Amino acid sequence: MIEAPCLKVRKLFGGKAIRLAAKLNLLNRRLKVQSDNNYVYVPLLEEPSLHEKAELSKEIEGLEVVRRAFPERERVVKAVDLAAELLPPHLLASFPCSIDFIGHIAIVEIPPELEEYKEVVGEAILKAHKRVRTVLAKAGAVEGTYRLRKFEVIAGSGETETVHREFGCIYHLDPTRVYFSPRLSHEHHRVASQVREGETVIDMFAGVGPFSILTAKILKSVKVYAIDVNPDAVKYLERNIAANRVEGKVVPILGDARKVVAEKLKGVADRVIMNLPERAFEYVAAACEALKPSGGIIHYYEFAGGDNPIKKVEAKIKKIVEERAGRKVSKVLASRLVREAAPLAGSPRPESRVGLFGFSRLLQGTLTVRVILTLVSGFLSFSTSLLERSPAALSAFTATVRPHTYVLLLTTISLGFVKVKRGSPLASTTSFAPPASIVTMIFEPSLLAYSLNFGFRSAAPLSAPTAIMQSPRSVSAVSFVTSKVVLWVDRTITWPHAFTTSLISRGVWAKRIYRLLQTRSNNF
């Protein structure tokens, strides 16, 4: 045992604490993370600084830094290395690299070329992962009303009932009797974290409760009606409600969601979750019927392939809502590809699981980047205002910073991931004359921007190598961007609508820079 400083956090924030510690280069990977009934202890390389502790505390409520004794990690042995002695060398590249872990169960997909060696694969996984007691191979696609998949035991005890832990929640389940995907764990948390205090939520296809129970664990005042047609799923759901102590907050209901809504839950929901991507469109009318007359939010999932799957699903859901429910989609708040899925029966290509959310306003996104862009925008506004009002500041600015450098630097920072293209070779002199070819911004079609062109004459002494610089210089300054730039930068992130609208409507700093550059060019 080795004593080390550590982060003490509630179990709900365990995974987040580990990721943040790793991001700050504080995580001690030689030591094992420990936990007790209520807390997770994340070992650190050293005590976090005041700045680091403040950053951690902003993200994690109730965080403490304490000292504790930790056991060392055992050396990680890969399953493929264990199987290497028994598999022909040419088959090692086909060894499954993707394994789903549900409690003590490992689930793999065996490629056809490894079919006769599947027991070897199973035993290697069993030895490499100490907590695994059963290894299952997929023996078919997810199918039927209950969304079940056939499995084959290829190693271990064969016990298929297990206890799975996810974001501080406990789920009793049997993957051969109920549908459950550990790959959707972050989607469960992302949706649950959007629910607000006092809301009423209907989970139309609840399964064993990963959306419903996590939502109830996060919030103090919420009501979740968890519906499923599978009797086994509802039995496990009831067991999980008790195990997670959310009785009264989550109401389990056995039955078809359409009938349950029609008979018991008309007009009660602020939010409806529809995680049945293969058939969710059949239940849209019922979901709209479940929403309050004033409207609400629907989290809709569907498999979609081909080009522009998101646009196809958006058009489809709007049409279904109007034709079958007699209501209207006021706004599609966000749409994203959740993950790639296996091909549907008869489909020649992989399908994408599209998540669509609508009917009200949501604020989502990456907090850190939002803060950075807000600070940059504020700096632009403040600095240009100061330069306009203070002749001394303007003089100091023009003496030390070239306007094109100022604009390019700040606009590049504000966009973050803008593609940059260089023209002809950059020329320079000891007096830092403008380059022969100013760097230009190249934008994707989805980015809408205004470009302002300014002329400059070189103030540096000219020589033969720099004669080209007698011609006017031009620089493109981006005045503002729309929310579409976010889809171009990262299609899994949705930015706050209010923030991007503010940037579009104002564009004040761009106008000020324009005036400054005009003043500066006249002084050359």
The more confident residue out of 259 and 353 is: 259
> CB-side exposure of 20: number of CA atoms within 13 Å?
21
Tens digits of residue pLDDT in 490-501 = 333 333 434 443
Tens digits of residue pLDDT in 305-355 = 777 888 888 888 888 888 888 888 888 887 877 766 554 443 333 344 455
Least confident range from 90-94, 190-194, 432-436: namely: 432-436
Residue 73 has pLDDT above 50, yes or no: yes
What is the band of 458 on the pLDDT scale with cuts at 50, 70, 90? very low
Least confident range from 112-121, 203-212, 241-250, 364-373: namely: 364-373
Residue 210 has pLDDT above 50, yes or no: yes
What domains appear along the chain, each with residue ranges and CATH number? 2-70 (3.30.70.2580), 79-156 (3.30.300.110), 163-358 (3.40.50.150), 367-523 (no CATH)
pLDDT at 317: 85
- Cβ neighbours for 38, distance < 8 A, ≥ 6 positions apart: 10, 11
**Cα end-to-end distance, the chain, whole Å:** 70
Nearest 5°: the CA angle 216, 233, 289 is: 65
Assessment of whether the complete model's pTM goes beyond 0.75: no
CB 443 within 8 A of CB 467: no
**Tokens at residue 516, please?**
């400054």
The CA-atom distances, in angstroms, between 272 and each of 204, 226, 275, 359 are 7, 10, 10, 11
**Looking at residues 16-24, what average pLDDT do you find?**
90
Nearest 5°: the CA angle 63, 66, 69 is: 130
E-strand ranges in 313-383 read: 332-341, 351-358
CB 338 within 8 A of CB 304: no
Provide the Cα torsion 335, 202, 209, 494; round to 10°.
20
Residue 364 has pLDDT above 80, yes or no: no
Instruction: Classify the C-alpha dihedral 195-201-202-205 as positive or negative.
Output: positive
Q: Mean pLDDT across the chain, nearest whole number?
A: 73
**Looking at residues 502-521, what average pLDDT do you find?**
48
The more confident residue out of 466 and 355 is: 355
The CA-atom distances, in angstroms, between 459 and each of 405, 454, 516 are 15, 15, 17
Count other C-beta atoms under 10 Å from residue 464's C-beta.
6
The more confident residue out of 188 and 308 is: 188
pLDDT at 383: 61
Residue 16 has pLDDT above 60, yes or no: yes
**Tokens at residue 139, please?**
């023996």
The more confident residue out of 197 and 358 is: 197
Q: Report the relative pairing of strands 200-203 and 271-274 from DSSP bridges.
A: parallel
What is the band of 109 on the pLDDT scale with cuts at 50, 70, 90? very high
What is the band of 268 on the pLDDT scale with cuts at 50, 70, 90? very high
The more confident residue out of 403 and 497 is: 403
Residue 156 has pLDDT above 90, yes or no: yes
pLDDT at 434: 30
| DSSP character at residue 145 | T
pLDDT at 359: 38
